[in-house]
């Protein structure tokens, strides 16, 4: 039997609060998704003004980051076509659900991935900044 640590709802709310604060600060209303360590959704908020299609993308970013245990932007850099590492094409896997656009980050506690956060509605850099802000707020509040 395996024992798995997983984000709870209270912690998911902290992650969203940290990301939303940053989104407000930079003036970009965001879609914010939090998944558990298996990539299944546990919390979601589309801030007033967040983009409709970003609701799906935010979930896919959080899913990808939690499951792959790395940032979606890392996939992005690694799968440039013609780079010889045979990773190009991963972005169409799972019907496109595997998302390589920046803005998804794994959430780790004591070196173990316990969930994922995915942000969408801004540029990848804005999305990444809000994901990072969510994690920093979580680290300050919950660890």
Q: How far is the CB of 38 from a copy of itself (least distance, A)?
A: 4
Query: Binding a copy of itself by CB under 8 A: which of 17, 41, 108, 136?
Result: 41
Please answer whether residues 65 and 105 qualify as being in contact, where contact means their C-beta atoms are separated by less than 8 angstroms.
yes
Largest CA distance in the chain: 46
Using CB under 8 A as the binding rule, whether residue 44 contacts a copy of itself is answered as yes
For residues 16 to 35, the per-residue mask of contacts with a copy of itself, x marking binding by CB under 8 A and - elsewhere, is --------------------
For 24-45, b/e burial (b = at least 16 CB within 10 A) is: eeeebbbbbbbbbbebebbbbb
Query: Binding a copy of itself by CB under 8 A: which of 21, 25, 26, 77?
Result: 77
Nearest 10 degrees: CA dihedral of 90, 124, 33, 45?
A: -150
Using CB under 8 A as the binding rule, whether residue 38 contacts a copy of itself is answered as yes
Q: How far is the CB of 22 from a copy of itself (least distance, A)?
A: 16
């Amino acid at each position: 039997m395996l024992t798995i640590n997983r984000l709870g709802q209270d912690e998911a709310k902290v992650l969203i609060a940290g990301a939303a604060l940053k989104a407000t600060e930079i003036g970009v209303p965001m879609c914010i998704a939090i998944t558990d360590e298996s990539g299944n959704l546990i919390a979601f908020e589309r801030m007033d003004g967040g983009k409709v299609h970003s609701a799906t993308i935010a979930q896919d970013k959080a899913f990808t980051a939690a499951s792959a245990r790395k940032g979606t932007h890392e996939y992005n850099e690694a799968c440039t076509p013609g780079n010889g590492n045979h990773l190009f094409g991963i972005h169409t896997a799972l019907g496109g659900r595997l998302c390589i656009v920046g803005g998804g980050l794994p959430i780790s506690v004591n070196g173990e991935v316990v969930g994922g956060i995915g942000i969408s509605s801004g540029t990848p850099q804005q999305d990444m900044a809000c994901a990072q802000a969510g994690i920093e707020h979580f680290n300050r509040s919950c660890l």
